[in-house]
Structure 1
């Protein structure tokens, strides 16, 4: 198996209990309005980073921010990290406009994410 490189951490998602309140706080923090603003996701693009707010739900067990590594081949990278001991939490799935996302836990239980833009 050959190693595929990442494009670095460009996306950080925060799970929030109150999306409207969190949106106001992050708008004040970042000094910009969100580029994506819906009832299920609020996203800010600033200085080459994407900061996303996701409402908490009963099915989510993630309470810490999740950093998303951008990769050219999400399935190859999932195979590499699982071969190295990671556990897939959420397999690759499309979230719109050809973007694929997946999450995995490292050997200490930390949740990390992968993003592939098509």
Structure 2
């Protein structure tokens, strides 16, 4: 039924600052940049990371329902594979995120942590051996 991540969507009341912050985090500007929506393609599979301008939250232009609490940590946590969870956490905190969940060893090589971006969205970080196994099988090596 679920075939893969298509788009993770966050909200922001400060669109200019959000564009600048995530451009710094990802190292590339958004490929879609409109007054109501920003989108980057990131990672090994070019997953879509979107940000809706909070001014449009719940409107037809947002094309997504309004979150329960814009500006407060809420909702599901989407974990993104990173090669070094503590280093990624440290970099995001240095860029202005707040630590939400410190690194935890979940066993068998899985490590998780999360931050709250400057606009209240939770961004999950995970070292996931399974992710690397799948990537290696699809690309013939990591």
TM-score by length of 1: 0.47
TM-score (norm 2): 0.39
The structure with the largest alpha-carbon Rg is 2
